[in-house]
Amino acid sequence: MIDRGTEWFAPTTRAEAIALRAERRDEATIVAGGTFLGVLMNNGMIAPSAMIALRDVEEFKYVRVDGDLHIGAMTTHREIELHPLINRLWPSLSHMFSLVANPRIRNWATIGGVLADADYASDPPAMLIALNARAVVESRRGKREIPIEELILGAYHTAIADDELLVEVVVPAGTEKAVYRKFRTRSHEDRPCVSVAAARHDGKLRLAVGAVSPTPQMFPDICAIADGRSITSEMAADIGRSYADSIAPLDDARGSGAYRKRVIAVEVRRALEALAS
Amino acid sequence: MSGSRTSGTIKYAMDAAVDGMWHARILRSPFAHARIKRIDVSLVPDGVVVLTGEDTRDLNHYGCQIADETVLAQGEVRFAGDPVAAVAARTRREADEALVCIEVDYEELPAVFGAEAAVAPGAHLVHAQHNVSENDAAYFGIRPINGTNVCHKFQIRHGDIEAGFAEADVIVEETYRTDSAAHVPMEPHATLAWWEGDRLEIITGSQTPFNVRMDLAIIFGIDQEKVRVKCPPMGGSFGAKTFIRLEGIVAALARKAGRPVKMVLDRSEEWQTLNRHPATITVRIGAKKDGTLVAKKVTCLADTGAYADCGPGVAQKMGFASPGPYRIPNVWVDSSCVYTNTPPNGAYRGYGQMQSIWASERTMDLLADRLGIDPLTLRMQNLLREGDAYCTGEVMHDLQLEQCLAAAANAIGWHEGRKGKGLSLLIKGMQTPSRASIMLKHNGNGSYHIECATAEMGQGAHLAIRTMAAGMLGIDVRHVSISYPDTAISPYDTRTTSSRSTHMMSRALAEALKDLRLNGIDVGIGEVRDEGGLNPDTGQGIASSHWHQGAAGAIVELDDETGLVKVKHLHASVYAGKVVVRKAAEMQNEGSMIMGFGTAMFERIEIADGQVTNANLSDYSVPSIADLPKMTHDLIEVEGALVHGLGETALPPIPPAIGNALQTFGVRMTTLPMTPERVLAAIDLRDGRVA
Amino acid sequence: MKTTFSLNGQQVSVDTDAGDMLLHALRDELHLTSVRGTCGIGLCGTCTVIVDDKTTASCLIPVPMIAGADIRTIEGIGNDPVLQAFEDAQAFQCGFCTPAMILTTQQLLVENPAPSDDEIDAALAGNLCRCGCYFKIRDAAKLAATALAQRSGA
């Protein structure tokens, strides 16, 4: 094979990685697990001239619980799925990760990577939004925290600046219960047609619908009617209808926008019924 | 043989390599229909061989049934994906990069999409004229209608259709549609070609070595003996690797490059190479109050895309399968193969049968509902029995339809309540006329070797043939070897399609053994020929020398709010005659059922303005191990019966069994696949909701 | 650039571009035609190899990502009970998906020596078999689990 001179950087420390990012900015593509990047490269959608691989940065690989859950950006889907503590304390999060693609992909795909990719049909963003999670991004300028709903700005578009790296995801304590429903219209291996993540957090409802728009859809005003009240089946149906009315879903091979609207009403209601049970 | 599959040492066409070979890629039209104004290859780097329409102008038109194809577009492209140019370079990446350097100016032309639009008066013509091919795959009376988009029209005229309907107490009519589907063999199309002087050598994944040889000889205007086609085992095919696919382009590139050239398609190109015919089928059926069928009128439109391929054959089979396995005194069928500006459609496991059985068997349940007769009873009452004449006039023998249907009904507990359950029944013809020959050689040490042109694509035909030979010779199967097809060595065989090989070769083998014993030498050659064929204007004659028979049952649950169907249990009962290799036979049934399940529930090529919009395995879904419902099946055997092919029989009855199960919820499905969205629309219709 | 790794227990080096995928290094440079790959998006499963005891879609992983790693393909599993179970169950037709199916099953049984049907399905769902040998593949996985349990018990 011919070496076309693509540059490859494999920093081993956090400081080195952040310095490289600042230096190369958008000229270099960040490689986390590589699975999404590989798809883009194989399809000729990108042809990076330089890549910064984070695989050797051990500082980005950890799961820590100090009340809140801290997940290093380079933690893989599979590690989250199988982590005993996450399984016990955030079972819906483990469950959701177990539904992403297949084990072969989950062995490599990372939590930082999936959020930075901001693909509309990915499972994790909606769930992380419902869990009130935030991303920690870091640059030489310092660190800042961004709620996941503000991190994803559009299809494949995030609020991460060109000198910043997503280094950690924080899932705060306080979730009473959470539910993830992945509605597939075709094979088990398919991505969702509609996904619904719902959580009760400090008495408040957070509900995000994924895979129907460029970004996960959450409507705090609609959720507010459940604040401090127990969810009745009537309320669940109302919230389902309101979500369906508020979203203009996209069309793809998994279903038309009109169909998705119908499913949103049903699946939101079902998620809320499961949350209430 | 099998050991090489688990160890990974088996070599497919994709793995074929010879010294000095280059790698080829195709530049394809982005437009569904356009005139090529200019092709500029001046930016292509030196050391890359480029082939355009200009280089292939001297080559002849070809096509297995209609001679409508050229190796590369000659001034006009007819579908988005039509090959415009091809390149060969030292590496695949260099070839990829060279493609981008070719500039083509197009002038877009009006295009026609959908068979119904293509047969409407005034529709733009995809081809001005239709010439029947000289390839022996054009084996039946092909009736093209010049000046239209119809490249073959097949008719059945049996009895008096008007009088038949006049006798009917109840008439049911419905129109059905089936979407296109992709074969998705795990191994993509792959071909390696080189020239030795004026002789062409080809290694290609193909079910049809002799047809490929014939078309290559036609293209290059050379004797068939100057073309040698070798077919290594395929990583699946399901009809995708029939007739000419890449062979013409690769051979022409190799000629220009003066060296061996190999091409392996990208997965995305598979959807631009060959798909399954979408069909529109209208069925009108009439019955007496007591359930006796009296008349059936069927119109089939098979959308063959921009090139006919074997579409005429598919339309013919769709046509003569559409009456179904029933005694009907008055039958009228029109089945047309229609050009449109979409990728070509061709052979696909079931070959037109799936589409027509979907329409025919759904109609049986609509009729049963109207008559207030149990669908099993209605079928039992009307099915063909020993000695009955089919609508083609041929007298039917060795029929096991009743047994197949009863087995399927029992397997799903039909008699313990019908809610959520459905049945279907079929007979399926085999390629007729048909010719098979085989060579059996004694190695002198008690072991034998077989040469035959039966291709191995995973269906297990080679093991079946070796097992049958071993049985006849009274030796262990390990002492019988077999070669892959090589037209320079293998005796002639029609092709490895239509579930014919195990059946035909079992008979040819018996002849070869007789020859070996009679002539007292070390080589025996056996040949069998089945004659037959249908008059294309009346549909009378011999449709099939041998009928595949099967039935299916389904149990489903329905989510009324989303239209999601959960298939709980599928059963197929298939008449096997005599099982040769049990596990392989079981896997043919299971594989057919799984493919039928995909076709029923979600497999669908989406085409917008002639562009396939889901040409990848994320947007085109195929069944995985996690999708399987409970699946059971029978291989029905009869003492003294001939070996029956099994490769396809269990696929076509699956979709209507599921559709009929949904009808018990009042959901009347007419379109495949039965996506949740379509099911929800049918639920809305049932409930009087307007979308 | 040069990348060194262990392939079936042997140290090997390949010279590729940093943007070339592991699949191409294995197939085109190291001539391992058991590693196939047909979809380019990690979905079909035929490019599966084991990297540091993890099933991996070799079509998606740039070569330098596996520098220093331990890579196993079907050529490296030798006379393995899982391979034998696939033979015994006749769990293949065309064989194109088979080496990857065996590697994935082997890795499943390392992680879960006695999987249920659902667990087998979850582990193998990302490996497509268009011939539809899935039922026999399930049989093979169970046969292999039994064989491995007997071996470790012996």
pLDDT in tens, B301-329: 999 999 999 999 999 999 999 999 999 99
- Residues in chain C closer than 8 A to B188 (CB atoms): 38
CB B60 within 8 A of CB B218: yes
Query: Is residue B207 pLDDT above 60, yes or no?
Result: yes
d(CA B489, CA B491): 6
Q: A158 - beta bridge partners?
A: A152
d(CA B128, CA C3): 57
The mean pLDDT of chain B is: 96
Q: Which amino acid is at B391?
A: C
Residue B1: predicted pLDDT: 45
- Closest to C61 (Cβ–Cβ): which among A4, A38, A189? A38
- Residues in chain B closer than 8 A to C137 (CB atoms): 625
CB contact under 8 A, C74 and B8: yes
Let me know the angle formed at the C-alpha of B34 by B251 and B123, rounded to the nearest 5 degrees: 115
Q: Which residues of chain A are at the B interface, by a Cβ-Cβ cutoff of 8 Å? A: 1-2, 183, 185-191, 252-253, 255-256, 258-259, 262-263, 266-267
How far away is chain A from the Cα of B650, in angstroms, using its nearest Cα? 21
- Closest to B602 (Cβ–Cβ): which among A187, A259, A262? A187
Name the residue among B398, B405, B390, B377 with its Cα closest to residue B323: B390
| CA A21 to chain CA mean position, Å | 22
CB B239 within 8 A of CB B647: no
CB contact under 8 A, B590 and C135: yes
- Please report which confidence band the pLDDT of residue C78 belongs to, taking 50, 70 and 90 as the band edges: confident
Contact residues for C138 (Cβ-Cβ < 8 A; gap 6+): B625, C117, C120, C121
| CA C37 to chain CA mean position, Å | 11
d(CA B428, CA B98): 47
Query: Is residue B499 pLDDT above 90, yes or no?
Result: no
Contact residues for A143 (Cβ-Cβ < 8 A; gap 6+): A136, A137, A167
CB contact under 8 A, C130 and B185: yes
Residue B15: predicted pLDDT: 97
CB B311 within 8 A of CB B239: no
Residue B2: predicted pLDDT: 58
Q: What is the mean pLDDT of residues A111-123?
A: 97
DSSP labels for C13-74?
A: EEE--TTSBHHHIIIIIS--TT----SSSS-S-TTEEEETTEEEETTTSBGGGGTT-EEE-G
Q: Which amino acid is at B175?
A: T
Q: What is the pLDDT of residues A154-173, one digit of tens each?
A: 999 999 999 999 999 999 99
CB contact under 8 A, B618 and C41: yes
Through-space distance between the first and last CA atoms of chain A, rounded to whole angstroms = 58
Q: What is the mean pLDDT of residues B204-226?
A: 97
Q: What is the mean pLDDT of residues B444-472?
A: 94
Q: What is the pLDDT of residues B329-355, one digit of tens each?
A: 999 999 999 999 999 999 999 999 999
d(CA B247, CA B206): 10
d(CA B442, CA B448): 5
CB B464 within 8 A of CB B452: no
CB contact under 8 A, B613 and A255: no
CB contact under 8 A, A266 and B676: no
Through-space distance between the first and last CA atoms of chain C, rounded to whole angstroms = 47
- Please report which confidence band the pLDDT of residue A90 belongs to, taking 50, 70 and 90 as the band edges: very high
Q: What is the pLDDT of residues C8-58, one digit of tens each?
A: 999 999 999 999 999 999 999 999 999 999 999 999 999 999 999 999 999
DSSP labels for B468-535?
A: HHHHHHTS-GGGEEEPPPBTTTSPPBS-S-TT-HHHHHHHHHHHHHHHHHHHTSSEEEEEEEE--EE-
Tokens 């049952």 locate to B553
CB B560 within 8 A of CB B471: no
The mean pLDDT of chain A is: 97
- Closest to B8 (Cβ–Cβ): which among C75, C93, C130? C75
A277: enclosing H helix or E strand: none
Query: Is residue B691 pLDDT above 60, yes or no?
Result: no
- Please report which confidence band the pLDDT of residue B369 belongs to, taking 50, 70 and 90 as the band edges: very high
- Residues in chain C closer than 8 A to A102 (CB atoms): 42, 45, 125-127
CB contact under 8 A, C99 and B234: no
Through-space distance between the first and last CA atoms of chain B, rounded to whole angstroms = 56
**For B498, phi and psi rounded to 5 degrees?**
50, 35
Q: What is the pLDDT of residues B639-676, one digit of tens each?
A: 999 899 899 999 999 999 999 999 999 999 999 999 99
Q: What is the pLDDT of residues C91-122, one digit of tens each?
A: 999 999 999 999 999 999 999 999 999 999 99
- Closest to C56 (Cβ–Cβ): which among A8, A53, A104? A104
Closest chain A residue to C51, measured at CA: A107
- Omega before residue B433 within 30° of 0, cis: yes
Q: Which chains reach chain C with 3 or more Cβ–Cβ distances below 8 angstroms?
A: A, B
Query: Is residue A142 pLDDT above 80, yes or no?
Result: yes
Query: Is residue B415 pLDDT above 70, yes or no?
Result: yes
Q: What is the mean pLDDT of residues B193-218?
A: 97
Q: In the numeric block, which tokens belong to residue B52?
A: 């355009």
d(CA C13, CA C6): 9
- Residues in chain C closer than 8 A to B617 (CB atoms): 39, 41, 43-44, 128
Count residue pairs from A and C with Cβ separation < 8 A.
107
CB B190 within 8 A of CB B16: yes
**Helices (H), strands (E): how many in chain C?**
5, 5
Q: What is the pLDDT of residues B86-119, one digit of tens each?
A: 999 999 999 999 999 999 999 999 999 999 999 9
- pLDDT over 70 percentage in chain B: 100
DSSP labels for B114-163?
A: SHHHHHSTTPPPS-S--PBPSSTT--S-----TTSSEEEEEEEEES-HHH
Q: In the numeric block, which tokens belong to residue B417?
A: 């309540």
Count residue pairs from A and B with Cβ separation < 8 A.
53
CB contact under 8 A, B677 and A183: no
Name the residue among A210, A239, A257 with its Cα closest to residue B691: A257
Q: Is C123 on the interface with A (CB under 8 A)?
A: yes
d(CA A261, CA B677): 11
d(CA B137, CA B214): 9
Maximum CA pair distance of chain A? 64
Q: Burial letters for C89-128: b for 16+ Cβ neighbours within 10 Å, e otherwise?
A: bbbbbbbbbbbbbbbbbbbbbeeeeebeeeebbbbbbbbb
C12: enclosing H helix or E strand: strand C10-15
Q: Give burial (CB, 10 Å; 0-12/13-18/19+) of A221.
A: exposed
